[in-house]
Structure formats: structure tokens, C-alpha cells
């Protein structure tokens, strides 16, 4: 076998070509870790893969592509063989206790909470930063916009409106903006708040006749981060006060970042003038995470908890938990707890046992979110495209298919999409 000279150049040329064709996340997950040995006569290339799961995936998704590239570069057919790489002895990490939530603790930012008794509190979770957010195709644009806002608040993308389904990382991004701004400008006045808390503050201001204090609190901010603005629906006085706060903050070149479960024009029972303000800056979607991103999330979050999740286990979990980051975290917590309580190493068998209830339910139920994601993946569109009012054939057909598939399994007459075809 030859691992240098022409053989090495042939393999490197294939790798370079794949780097150009694949997304960074796909390349780093599947191709970058591979090694290869090429026969002296260049008739055969043996590609070494870290584990069985990856080997099966590489065989299904990339082996044919690699063979085609090698033949094109060399000028003659090159047989591609896949083999498991020799295992290194892993450093065992002690099983750990149940991980903590990465979302905002309810006693910090949950709806209906009492405001702090003394002093100004920003209600930011210091653990939710850009560094702890796993980047992928699903959130790349939203992350880039959020980083820009954190670096230059009050300029472009004001307001920044981030929308997407439950548990996709919208709240994490908002906290990351606030934490980055405070790291750069310690004296900035930043507030993270859930929309229901704003509603509660409006009600209290009316009851106690303390609107001067209310306005001082909200109109003096440098950065307002407000979560789930869809909760303003049918609350006319709250919408009026938020409109006033919105205008006051923009006038003083403060920045506003909002999240919602749908895009601005999809919000129901919100005044039109408020919707137009929401849509006046930059609106970005966060999609459900793709497979590679889900794997990276699991491995990273396990490390935060002091545990090493083997890659094949992360792939097993990621293949079976597809809808959102929150469900991934829940699955990881169960696995880590099961490992600790049973004093067993993390493995696919342990993960299957720890998640047996979830896997059993999943086999019986199909969620709307999973249907949307699967159809979107197949047609190479974004889930957000299905919500668009523009209906070219490339969008209309997948949308109709998703609606049809959702009818029976989940007992929905329609998907939670615009109902006019």
C-alpha cells in the first residue's frame, strides 16, 4: 500500500473537491475525519471510517461520489472499499448527574414572575453565548445577524425578528446578543424578558398607577430582548404600550430583538401597525437542526456536563430525535442519568434502553414538525418556505404533500401553515 506520492495526492484531490461541494458542517462531520490508503497501482482506495454508523452512512451517501471523483481525476476506475479505522482506547469519563436546562431558568425569566426588588437586573443567562451555540445550516443566517447586532447595536437589522418552532434556539440567540454586548460595553442597559412578563408589567402599572416607572424601565434601555411576542395577541393595551416603547427605543437608536413562533405577517390578532414595525428590520428563520448539527449539539452538550458521548451513540440519538434542540437535551439528560444510576458506560444499547419510552412513542406517533422537516429535506427547501405567501410550484407541491401526510397520522385538518392554497 502507498500512503504518499500519487496515491496521497489522489485522495487529497477527492477531499478538496468534496470540501467545495458540501456544506462546512457536512464536510467536517463526514469527510474531514476520514483517512485513506491507496494501492500502489491506484486500482483500489481503502477509506477508513471511525464507526459502523458512519461507515453505513458514507457507503450510502458518499462512496459513489468518491469513486466518481477518483475516476475523473485518475482517468481510470478506482475501486472504493470502506473499513473501520483501528480503535483508539478512549479516556473514560465518569458518568455524570442529570444535566441542567440550557434554556432560561423559570425563576429568572419565566412568565408571571415578580420584578427584582432592588437594582436593575438584565435577566440574562450567562451560559447562553455565541460560543455555546452550535452553528449549522439551520441557524447560520440568524446567528450571523445576531452577532452583527451585538457588535453594532442600533444600526442595521433593527428590529431583529427571529422566528421558528419550539426549542430551536431562538432564546439562546437572544441571550447571546445580550451577553456579547455587555462583554463589550459593560455599562449598557440590557433587558431580556418574556412577552407574558411585559403583559404582567403593563397590568401592574395600571393597577398601581406607576406608568412613570414603567416607562423609565422600558424606554431607557440600550437593548431590549423580548421572547414570544405572539403572546401579545388580543391584548390591546399591552400592544399599545409596546408600540410606544418600540418607538421610544428606535428614536434613541436602541436595539430591539424579538422572537416568535411565526413570521410577522403570520401573527394573529396583533395590530397591523405593530406587525409592520416587527417587519421593518430583518426577519430571519431558525429551522429544525439537520442530522450533522444534532450530532454536534449532543456531543458538545455532553462535554459541558463532563461526559464523553461516543460518536456512534450521538448519531443513534440524532437519527431518532429530530424535531428540536430541547428534545435532544431531554434525551441526553435521560442517557446521562441512566448511565450514572446504573454505573454503565454510554453505548447505543444503553441509549436505546434509556430512551425506550421515547422510541416506543415515536414509533406510534408522527408529529407535524417531523412531517414538515422530512418533506422539506426531500424537496431541498426550508420549512419556512412552506409558510411563504408566494407559491411557486417548487413550494406549492411539497406544501400540499406535507398537508396531506399530516391529515391522518396527527389528526390535523391542515398543517399549521397558511390554509389558502
What pLDDT band is residue 361 in, cutting at 50, 70 and 90? low
The three-class DSSP label of residue 120 is coil
pLDDT for residue 362: 60
Contact 313, 302 (CB under 8 A): no
* Region of poorest pLDDT, from 98-102, 265-269, 275-279, 297-301: 98-102
Determine the topology of domain 291-364 in CATH.
Helicase, Ruva Protein; domain 3 (1.10.8)
Q: Which of 101-105, 135-139, 142-146 has the lowest mean pLDDT?
A: 101-105
Q: pLDDT grade, residue 107 (50/70/90)?
A: very low
CATH of domain 106-285: 3.40.50.300
Rg from Cα positions in the chain: 25
pLDDT at residue 411 greater than cutoff 50? no
**Whole-number pLDDT of residue 145:** 92
End-to-end CA distance of the chain: 60
Q: What are the boundaries of each domain within the chain?
A: 5-84, 106-285, 291-364, 368-407
pTM for the structure as a whole: 0.61
**Burial tier of 346 (Cβ tally within 10 Å: 0-12, 13-18, 19+):** buried
Residue 407 has pLDDT above 70, yes or no: no
**Per-residue confidence band for 92, with pLDDT thresholds at 50, 70 and 90:** very low
pLDDT at residue 290 is higher than 90: no
Q: Which CATH architecture has domain 5-84?
A: 2-Layer Sandwich (3.30)
- Supply the pLDDT for residue 119: 54
pLDDT classification of 33: cutoffs 50, 70, 90: confident
Under 8 Å between Cβ of 339 and 382: no
Checking if the pLDDT of 98 tops 50, the result is no
Amino acid at each position: 500500500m502507498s500512503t504518499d506520492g500519487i496515491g496521497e495526492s489522489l485522495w487529497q484531490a477527492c477531499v478538496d473537491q468534496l470540501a467545495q461541494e458540501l456544506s462546512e458542517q457536512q464536510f467536517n462531520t463526514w469527510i474531514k475525519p476520514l483517512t485513506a490508503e491507496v494501492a500502489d497501482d491506484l486500482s483500489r482506495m481503502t477509506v477508513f471510517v471511525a464507526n459502523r454508523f458512519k461507515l453505513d452512512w458514507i457507503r450510502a451517501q458518499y462512496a459513489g461520489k468518491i469513486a466518481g471523483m477518483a475516476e475523473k481525476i485518475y482517468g481510470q476506475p478506482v475501486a472504493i472499499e470502506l473499513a473501520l479505522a483501528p480503535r483508539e482506547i478512549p479516556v473514560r469519563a465518569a458518568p455524570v448527574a442529570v444535566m441542567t436546562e440550557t434554556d432560561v431558568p423559570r425563576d429568572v425569566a419565566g412568565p408571571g414572575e415578580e420584578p427584582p426588588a432592588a437594582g436593575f437586573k438584565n435577566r440574562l443567562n450567562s451560559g447562553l453565548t455565541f460560543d455555546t451555540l452550535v452553528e449549522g445550516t439551520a441557524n447560520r443566517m440568524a446567528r450571523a445577524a445576531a452577532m452583527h447586532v451585538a457588535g453594532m447595536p442600533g444600526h442595521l437589522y433593527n428590529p431583529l425578528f427571529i422566528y421558528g418552532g419550539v426549542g430551536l434556539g431562538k432564546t439562546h440567540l437572544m441571550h447571546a446578543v445580550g451577553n456579547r454586548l455587555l462583554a463589550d460595553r459593560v455599562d449598557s442597559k440590557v433587558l431580556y424578558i418574556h412577552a407574558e412578563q411585559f403583559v404582567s408589567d403593563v397590568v401592574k402599572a395600571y393597577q398601581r398607577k406607576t406608568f412613570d416607572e414603567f416607562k423609565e424601565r422600558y424606554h431607557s434601555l440600550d437593548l431590549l430582548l423580548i421572547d414570544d411576542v405572539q403572546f401579545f395577541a388580543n391584548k390591546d393595551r399591552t400592544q399599545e404600550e409596546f408600540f410606544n416603547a418600540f418607538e421610544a427605543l428606535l428614536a434613541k437608536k436602541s436595539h430591539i430583538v424579538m422572537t416568535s413562533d411565526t413570521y410577522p405577517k403570520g401573527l394573529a390578532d396583533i395590530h397591523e401597525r405593530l406587525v409592520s414595525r416587527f417587519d421593518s428590520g430583518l426577519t430571519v428563520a431558525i429551522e429544525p437542526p439537520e442530522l450533522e448539527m444534532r450530532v454536534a449539539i449532543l456531543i458538545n452538550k455532553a462535554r459541558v456536563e463532563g461526559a464523553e458521548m461516543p460518536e456512534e451513540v450521538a448519531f443513534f440519538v440524532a437519527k431518532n430525535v429530530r424535531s428540536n434542540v430541547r428534545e435532544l437535551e431531554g434525551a441526553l439528560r435521560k442517557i446521562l442519568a441512566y448511565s450514572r444510576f446504573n454505573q454503565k458506560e454510554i453505548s447505543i444499547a444503553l441509549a436505546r434502553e434509556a430512551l425506550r419510552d421515547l422510541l416506543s412513542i415515536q414509533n406510534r406517533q408522527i408529529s407535524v414538525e417531523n412531517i414538515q422537516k422530512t418533506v422539506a429535506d426531500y424537496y431541498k427547501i426550508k420549512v419556512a418556505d412552506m409558510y411563504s405567501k408566494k407559491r411557486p410550484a417548487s413550494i406549492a407541491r411539497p406544501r400540499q404533500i406535507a398537508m396531506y401526510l399530516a391529515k391522518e397520522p396527527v389528526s390535523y385538518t391542515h398543517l399549521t401553515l397558511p390554509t389558502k392554497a
